[in-house]
Structure 1
């Protein structure tokens, strides 16, 4: 594990330069909400969200070794031009003692170790990304330092039913002088950067709430600076999605129904604030849960009964040995109208 100093305390609203490690430690005046925490509430429970909060449930678990995570992290640093310093390790894998020692030494210094072949892959991704963005109207200057600011954290307060609560977001890139946010994602789904596949993936994990949450933060911070009331959906938020496999295809993806994701985000905010007010970090409601079978399971069972019955009827019509089965309707508790 790397050794770090305590995160600098954040005293007020605004955008600040803050490295990812200190941001994820949550340096807000009080434990704050983040998009990851809200996504956990959307798809899981308050108890799981509390467990993942760095200040409410501190954890010293080491980072897991993961090839795709390494490549994605390094590509992120190369694309945005900010992040931990990178140490390229000249080894084929992390299996040798020399490679393991080099990796441990790099992490101890707060740096990012990466195998040479994975660094080459991340660099190829960076080149492909900017080549493709140059051909997409409106995205020609995305992630460039001339047009915006990369890797800046934002802190603000949300008005909730339980009072004001702190919120935070780590913006990959925001345009200078414009309400524009771009979030870089490397996505290794079955169809790579395919927009439909990506959206289905983030909907399943609740990470679609990143759009309304990050947009709320930007609207609140800039509104406080200018004295304006800025609606969150006035912010132009888009995901820049890249397949980490050759030819490193890129897709610019936006939620078509931002309102729905905004509703999910608000629901999660209210759930978190209620839990904080009551100091009740509940998992499932402590009662018996009566759950209906999924519609697809019922449809499959109906089809199975019908197929079995029709098959035996066909055998009988051909004069072959057949089972005397009741019609599927005979098994219904109530007659079909």
Structure 2
């Protein structure tokens, strides 16, 4: 592999991007999320060039079809290899799938492709009726941004793979990311993933890259698509307070990555006993339940003494 040595906007297969194509080890949004939500040791293990045992796991059929839907929506059908078999059970079908992967293609059974294209058409129709309009009508899919950041420990390199850009020269407008989900795309339900799955951090990280390359982005938006009929579509973005929080996370991840890269040390969890406090949501639920019991029984809230609790009981009040 020829490694990238200069910041810029690049086009490359997904496999090359995920293997880290940058000469100096680079930080991605997914590794940044692992750094903050787990530890540097976990991030090192997940990085393709830091973990000597790292192997890219073979996608499942469902994951392949999700990738194909992603490509169909973005009109990037060149990454899909259609295989004319009823299923993957026969040796010939398995060999065709293997050859497709070797050439960087996503193997899809030909009879499944019509349904995938139908879903993509439904998504584009939904966007045409949305206030953002058909933002996918023109632009480029899956471009890789490579840039350099300064940290207290020294310079570091970063990379991101952008699903959709409407332009490749400044100003580029919004940076677009497509998420296909098996559950709900309703903003209130899906929006929880912005913090739990690191998607807000992803938005802040990608915007840092676009600004570092002088692309003058307007912001970052997610197109969220339900894989199941009727294929609901929503468009979401981080509110200012969430974006501010995500920007702080991105900065913290960069500094931690810089410390680890330049020191060569990748610590795991702190080697000390941690006192875990009751989360505020659990305390609120308990208080609400106690008040409800009081109202329904017209009795004082019931709190079982510690000495009377049943160890390992599944009872709600144990």
TM-score band, normalised by shorter chain: 0.7 to 0.9
C-alpha distance in 1 between matches for 2:232 and 2:288: 41
Change (3 A) 1:278 1:100: same
Listed as ranges, the matches of 1:86-105 within 5 Å are 86-105=80-99
Task: Please say which of residues 271-280 and 292-301 is displaced more in the overlay.
Answer: 292-301
Name 2:27's counterpart in structure 1: 33
C-alpha distance in 2 between matches for 1:309 and 1:331: 20
C-alpha distance in 1 between matches for 2:188 and 2:306: 40
* TM-score (norm: length of structure 2): 0.83
Report how far residue 217 of structure 1 moved: 0.5
- Say which one has the larger Rg: 1
Change (3 A) 1:116 1:290: same
Instruction: Answer yes or no: is the 8 Å Cα contact 1:71–1:121 preserved in 2.
Output: no
C-alpha distance in 2 between matches for 1:305 and 1:26: 53
Deviations 1:77-123 (A, max 9, x none): 22223375322233443233343233223223332211234322321
C-alpha distance in 2 between matches for 1:104 and 1:158: 38
Instruction: Answer yes or no: is the 8 Å Cα contact 2:141–2:162 preserved in 1.
Output: yes
Name 1:150's counterpart in structure 2: 141
Instruction: Answer yes or no: is the 8 Å Cα contact 1:242–1:249 preserved in 2.
Output: yes
C-alpha distance in 1 between matches for 2:154 and 2:91: 53
2:27 matched to 1:48? no
Report how far residue 252 of structure 1 moved: 1.0
Name 2:58's counterpart in structure 1: 63
Change (3 A) 1:307 1:93: same
Change (3 A) 1:286 1:70: same
Instruction: Answer yes or no: is the 8 Å Cα contact 1:219–1:235 preserved in 2.
Output: no
Instruction: Answer yes or no: is the 8 Å Cα contact 2:13–2:104 preserved in 1.
Output: no
Report how far residue 48 of structure 1 moved: 1.0
Unaligned runs of 5+ residues in structure 1 are 1-5, 224-229, 315-325, 333-337
Pick from 205, 224, 238: which aligns with 1:241?
224
Pick from 172, 191, 198: which aligns with 1:199?
191
Report how far residue 249 of structure 1 moved: 1.7
Instruction: Answer yes or no: is the 8 Å Cα contact 1:182–1:240 preserved in 2.
Output: yes
Name 1:160's counterpart in structure 2: 151
Pick from 251, 256, 260: which aligns with 2:245?
260
Change (3 A) 1:327 1:195: closer
* TM-score (norm: length of structure 1): 0.79
Paired residues in the alignment total 301
C-alpha distance in 2 between matches for 1:306 and 1:134: 49
2:161 matched to 1:170? yes
Instruction: Answer yes or no: is the 8 Å Cα contact 1:160–1:269 preserved in 2.
Output: yes
Report how far residue 179 of structure 1 moved: 3.2
Change (3 A) 1:300 1:244: closer
Unaligned runs of 5+ residues in structure 2 are 308-318
Deviations 1:219-245 (A, max 9, x none): 11016xxxxxx6xxx632101111111
Listed as ranges, the matches of 1:129-148 within 5 Å are 129-140=123-134, 142-145=135-138, 148=139
Deviations 1:173-220 (A, max 9, x none): 11224332111111112x2x1112222124212222111111111111
Deviations 1:36-68 (A, max 9, x none): 11111232211111111111114234413241x
RMSD: 3.0
Instruction: Answer yes or no: is the 8 Å Cα contact 1:302–1:328 preserved in 2.
Output: no
